[in-house]
């Protein structure tokens, strides 16, 4: 379990807000996810200098600039590799990763699988709008096969990627889904994810109002609380997730795996390494 200060009232959401103004489209669900981030960190009472927010490329990946914490805006699809290295080297930090469905499940898909498998103690939050919002609305790995667009007339015809099933099969220790229209609910999920040891994965359905106007009202009417309680049984969770309609929200799985954390190399003197490269 991560160390949490004793006094939970010493921080406010505004303490985690940077001076950079978000440039997302008005109405984008990512605005709400940012507020959920700030509320969650305040509830966890984590000093900003003890938090690192890592991201890749995409609309969602702008979040590090909007938070008053340490941040790293990495290259496309590599946020989990960066975050894993950071957490292993600095286990004292609370590491959160912000991503999108394209960044996380397409070019970053391989890193996603192995981050789940390694079960390093970090939290992965994916804002899923089922489209590439930053690059003019191409279908993403989670886009429905029959979603018709000028870029993919008639739809892709491809079976969509199911990130929660993949996360469970790959070894993630905490799996949840939220909806950006419920800021309080998303903040609660982030808190639960951070407090659960190991690799925590939170998918947040975050509508794209520019290229998928159907999502804004449609998803609000479709999301619903999971009808069965969370489970720590992978077999039961697998049956539950395989029959999931994609709009169940809440904690869906909380496992018992111990997180991976190698012993840090204390008092390492790099001089012997430098000598090996001397000309």
* pTM > 0.95: yes or no: no
Average pLDDT of 12-30? Answer: 93
pLDDT score of 6 more than 70: no
φ/ψ bin of 30: left (φ > 0), alpha (ψ from -120 to 50), beta (otherwise): alpha
According to the model, what pLDDT value does residue 213 have? 78
Say how many C-beta atoms besides its own lie within 10 A of residue 250's C-beta: 18
By the 8 A CB rule, do 63 and 38 touch?
no
Q: How confident is the model at residue 271 (pLDDT cuts 50, 70, 90)?
A: confident
């Amino acid at each position: 379990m991560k160390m949490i200060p004793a006094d939970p009232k010493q921080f406010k959401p505004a303490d985690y807000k940077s001076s950079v103004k978000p440039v997302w489209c008005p109405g984008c669900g990512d605005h709400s996810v940012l507020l959920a981030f700030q509320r969650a960190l305040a509830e966890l009472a984590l000093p900003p200098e003890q938090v690192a927010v890592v991201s890749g490329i995409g609309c969602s990946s702008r979040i590090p600039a909007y938070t008053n914490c340490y941040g790293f805006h990495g290259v496309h699809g590599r946020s989990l590799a960066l975050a894993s290295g950071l957490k292993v080297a600095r286990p004292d930090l609370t590491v959160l990763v912000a991503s999108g469905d394209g960044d996380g499940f397409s070019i970053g898909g391989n890193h996603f699988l192995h981050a789940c498998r390694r079960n390093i103690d970090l939290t992965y939050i994916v804002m899923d709008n089922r489209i590439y919002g930053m690059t003019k609305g191409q279908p993403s790995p989670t886009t429905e096969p029959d979603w018709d667009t000028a870029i993919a007339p008639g739809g892709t015809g491809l079976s969509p990627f199911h990130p929660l099933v993949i996360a469970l099969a790959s070894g993630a220790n905490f799996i949840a889904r939220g909806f950006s229209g419920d800021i309080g609910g998303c903040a609660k999920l982030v808190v639960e994810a951070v407090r659960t040891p190991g690799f925590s994965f939170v998918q947040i359905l975050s509508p794209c109002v520019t290229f998928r106007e159907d999502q804004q009202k449609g998803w609000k009417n479709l999301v619903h609380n999971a009808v069965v309680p969370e489970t720590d049984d992978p077999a039961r969770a697998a049956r539950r997730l395989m029959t999931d309609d994609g709009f169940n929200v809440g904690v869906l799985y909380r496992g018992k795996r111990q997180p991976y954390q190698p012993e840090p190399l204390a008092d390492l003197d790099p001089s012997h390494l430098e000598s090996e490269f001397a000309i």
